[in-house]
Amino acid sequence: MDPWIAQHAAAIADHAERELDALVAISTPSGDVHGAEEAIALVVALAPNEATIERVPCSSPDHAPDLILRLTGSGSRRLLLLGHLDTVVAHDEHRPLSREGERLVGSGAIDMKGGDVLALGVLRALATRPDAFAEVALLLVCDEEWRIGPFVHVPRFAGFDACLCFEAGQLADDDLEAVVVRRKAAGTLSVTAHGRSAHSGSAPDKGINALLALASAAQAVAGSQDPHGPQRLTAVPTVLHAGDAFNVVPGIGELVCDLRADSLDAFEGVLQALPAELAGARLEAQLVRQWPGMDAREATAPLLAAAAAALGRPVIGAGRGGASDAAHFAATIPFTVDGLGPRGGGAHAPHEYLLATSLKPRAEVALAVADASLNV
C-alpha cells in the first residue's frame, strides 16, 4: 500500500469514532436551522487550519446555509468532496451514538455523518500535499434528505475534475471493497384526486369518492412499472391520504409514489398511465421531486484501477438504487464516484449503525480514490 495512504488512513481511523460521536450527538433533522448550525460549527472545528470557510445559500428555502471548506494549492486539478449533514430523524426520536459490539448505533451514523467524518479526514490529509491540487472543496449540504426543488450547486463547481461523494460504502462479491458508480434516477409522484364530499350514510350517491379514485390510480401506477425492461423502471405507491371523518365521503385526497429508473425520461410513461379522471374524480399528477441517474462506469474505470494499484487490492465499481447528490454532478464532472463512506446499515431506522471495523479500510479506499483523481 502507498505509504501516504497507510499513514493518513490510520490517523483518520484513530479519530473517526470520537468525531462521529460528537457529530451524531447533534440532532439535525432536515430544515432545523439550529441543529444544522451546531453541526457546521463542529465540522469547522475539525477542518484543517488551511481551509477557508464559505457559507452559501441552500437549495431549499428556510434551511441553514450550506458549508464549503476550500483548500488551495499549486497543482492543476480540482477535486470536490461531497456530503450532507441533515437526517430524517425528528428531535424527539434522535438517538446519540452508542457501541453495540462492532456496531456504532445512532441517528444518522451511516446516512451520512460517518461519511462526513471520513470526508473531513481526507480533507485534512490532502492539506499536507498542496502541490498535488489547485483546489479541493468539501461541500456539506443541509437538505439532502427532503429536498424537492432544484439542486443549485452544479454551476458552482463547473470545471472540477472529480467529485467524490461519501454516502455509505459497500462490499462487492468475495468481500471486495466497492464504490458506487451507477445510480438510478429517482422521482416522487404526487397525485391529487378532486371528488365531492357527501354524508356517507344518508347521501353517499351524491359524493364522488376521492379515496376510490386514488386506489385505482395506485393500481395504474404500479401497473406501469417494468423492472426488467430497458429502463429498469419501478413505480411504487407509498402514501395514501383521503378523508378526515368516518362518516363523510372523501372529497379530496393525495397519493404519493416512489419512481426509479435509469433515466428521468422513463417517468413520463407513468404520468401517461394516469387518466385525467377516475371514478368521477379529477386527477392532478405532478413530479414534485426529481433526481437524475448516474452511470460513470466507463469514465471511472481507469480511476479505480489506479486506486486499486495504490491500495494493493481491488476497488470495484458497483451500482445502488438510492438517490444521491453525486448524481447531480455526474453529467458535468468527468470522474464522479459515490459510496466512499464507511459501511453499515439501517439507514433512516431507529437501529441505524456504522461498522467500526470498516472505518480504516474505507478511509484507505477514499484516500486512494482521492489520490488517483489528482493523478489520472
Residues 178 and 326 in one domain: yes
The three cell numbers locating residue 165:
461523494
Residues 172 and 283 in one domain: no
Residues 53 and 164 in one domain: yes
The answer for residues whose C-beta is within 8 angstroms of residue 305's C-beta and 6 or more apart is none
**Domain tally for the chain?**
2
Residues 204 and 317 in one domain: no
Model pLDDT, residue 68: 98
Residues 108 and 22 in one domain: yes
Residues 74 and 189 in one domain: no
pTM: 0.91
Could you report the per-residue pLDDT of 173-204, keeping only the tens digit for each?
889 999 999 999 999 999 999 999 999 999 99
210: enclosing H helix or E strand? helix 210-223
The answer for residues whose C-beta is within 8 angstroms of residue 34's C-beta and 6 or more apart is none
The three cell numbers locating residue 58:
441552500
Fill in the amino acid letter for 98: S
**Rounded average pLDDT over 154-180:** 96
- Going by pLDDT thresholds of 50, 70 and 90, the confidence category of residue 376 is confident
Residues 73 and 151 in one domain: yes
Could you report the per-residue pLDDT of 27-84, keeping only the tens digit for each?
999 999 999 999 999 999 999 999 999 999 999 999 999 999 999 999 999 999 999 9
Residue 38 CA to residue 94 CA, distance in Å, equals 15
The three cell numbers locating residue 372:
488517483
11 is in which domain, residue-wise? 3-184+293-373
The three cell numbers locating residue 119:
470526508
Residues 162 and 310 in one domain: yes
The domain boundary, picked from 233, 268, 290, lies at 290
The domain boundary, picked from 237, 266, 290, lies at 290
Residues 19 and 9 in one domain: yes
User: H helices of 224-358, where?
Assistant: 267-272, 297-311, 326-330
Model pLDDT, residue 50: 97
Q: What is the CATH number of the domain that holds 233?
A: 3.30.70.360
State the pairing for strand pair 170-171/162-165. unpaired
Place of cell 460517518: 114
Residue 226 CA to residue 222 CA, distance in Å, equals 9
The domain boundary, picked from 290, 309, 324, lies at 290
Residues 94 and 235 in one domain: no
**pLDDT at position 153 over 90:** yes
Residues 155 and 174 in one domain: yes
∠ CA 61-55-30, nearest 5°, is 40
The three cell numbers locating residue 356:
467500526
Residues 279 and 366 in one domain: no
Q: What are phi and psi of 198, to 5 degrees?
A: -165, 160
Model pLDDT, residue 148: 85
Dihedral (C-alpha) 249, 250, 251, 254: value to the nearest 10 degrees? -160
The answer for residues whose C-beta is within 8 angstroms of residue 375's C-beta and 6 or more apart is 132, 306
Could you report the per-residue pLDDT of 297-339, keeping only the tens digit for each?
999 999 999 999 999 999 999 999 878 999 999 999 989 999 9
Dihedral (C-alpha) 51, 54, 59, 62: value to the nearest 10 degrees? 130
Could you report the per-residue pLDDT of 208-239, keeping only the tens digit for each?
999 999 999 999 999 999 999 999 999 999 99
The three cell numbers locating residue 62:
428556510
Q: What is the CATH number of the domain that holds 315?
A: 3.40.630.10
